[in-house]
Amino acid sequence: MAAQCHPLVRLGPLVAILLLSLLAVVVFCFSVLAATPDCWRQPAAPRALEFKGSGSSGPLQRFLHHDELDGAGRLALFPPDSALALASLTAWPLAESTGLAAPFFISPEPLDSDYDGFIDQLISTDLRGRVWLTNIAATGFGTTLLLADLSHTDWRYIASVGVTDVSLPLPLRPAGFNGRYRLLLLIARHIVTGEDALVAMRIPGFSAEPELVNFDALLDRTVITATELASGISHEQWLDIVDNAGWLVRLAGQVTQPPKVVAGVIYSAVATSDFNAEECADQSAEHSLMAMHLHSAGLVYNQRRFRLLNGEGQLTLQQQADGSAALVLDNTDEQQVVLTDLKMISPSCADCTELLQLDQFPRWLKLATYRKETGAH
């Protein structure tokens, strides 16, 4: 009997970790400081990843876990059949030396750099805003490079919107500019006012000596000037934006659910109330929707902010009779129509848009990754 129970005992901790993962899906919480209310704290949930295996074994599955070790951030890689970590990453390259990361309240973002269907890199962002790119394989962690130090005395980094692949159309690419890159979207929180900001950072390629991005390199796009409101983004302004390391927009409130990127437009549900950095917005707050251009944080509609009756529910797309799309706030009791005739960014000019037709979107859909040429037709 003891021999039969032994595998179950050995798998117990891993099962507990997986249960935490399910809890994290149900409860969307992230935090600015460890002392903040539980509603903003995201449980550290393991993430199932597929890695390249040998020709006979096929894909190899691992679980990536992020947590705190003595107040510092740590990554660990687990096999699916054991609670013992294959590898652990606790030492991080810093601008001046090697040291500890702040806690990872943001789940690391897995990347497939060569688009072969397997994970081979991770983007990790700690509470202070330091961003690392780590090579990873089924056997453990490889080389880690510090890509950015977005540290600022007023801001802490609490959530990730994700990593978006960007391909600028040829007419919009400045001379000598690589129009294909990845954009990391983060949520930062002001440690005094409790206000959130949306931060977009262009991820440089993995190189031996990447140019370190710092907070001052981000272009502040919080205010849309009168000239831009009237005439749109000028050619010079567009060149300045895309040649920059990234941008930042203060949201004048707290995000209440993960922002959604649809056809090049970022939608964020924001609540405004008398909160501070240690409090969370609630249903007594004033709610609104922020919409902005993915590349430039510029206008997509004639305004950035739209009023919401309340903030209950999830932002979802809904197809209308004519094939166009509407954005609705969907909860168990009712649907609140937020925007109709949604727009998508257009390659015609820096801030051109066109009507989003759900029956034509997405225009490109990945159907498969052929890992071997044999048998592919």
Give every CB contact of residue 6 below 8 A, 6+ residues apart in sequence.
none
339 CB-contact burial (10 Å; exposed 0-12 / middle 13-18 / buried 19+): middle
pLDDT at 180: 84
Which 3-state string (H, E, C) describes 177-202? CCCEEEEEEEEEEECCCCCEEEEEEE
pLDDT at 5: 46
| Rounded-to-integer distance, Cα 288 and Cα 40, Å | 19
pLDDT at 323: 81
Count other C-beta atoms under 10 Å from residue 171's C-beta: 9
Which of 242, 239, 157 minimizes the C-alpha distance to 199?
157
Residues of the chain with pLDDT under 50: 1-37, 40, 375-377
Give residue 56's Cα distance to chain centre.
Answer: 34
Structural tokens at position 56:
């006979």
Structural tokens at position 289:
């929707």
| Rounded-to-integer distance, Cα 132 and Cα 141, Å | 12
Which of 175, 179, 158 minimizes the C-alpha distance to 167?
179
Place of tokens 């001379």: 175
pLDDT at 294: 94
φ and ψ at residue 173, rounded to 5 degrees: -90, 125
| Beta-strand pair 130-137/140-149 | antiparallel
| Rounded-to-integer distance, Cα 270 and Cα 247, Å | 19
| Rounded-to-integer distance, Cα 333 and Cα 313, Å | 9
Q: What share of the chain is helix, strand, coil (3-state, %, to 5)?
A: 15, 40, 45
Taking CA atoms, 227 is separated from 13, 85, 174, 243, 329, in Å, by: 58, 56, 22, 21, 33
Paired with 63 in beta bridges are: 48, 78
pLDDT at 225: 92
252 CB-contact burial (10 Å; exposed 0-12 / middle 13-18 / buried 19+): middle
Is residue 104 within 8 A of residue 111, CB to CB? The reply is: no
Is residue 184 within 8 A of residue 165, CB to CB? The reply is: no
pLDDT at 65: 93
Is residue 310 within 8 A of residue 293, CB to CB? The reply is: no
Which amino acid makes up residue 80? Answer: P
Q: H helices within the chain, ranges in order?
A: 2-26, 226-231, 235-242
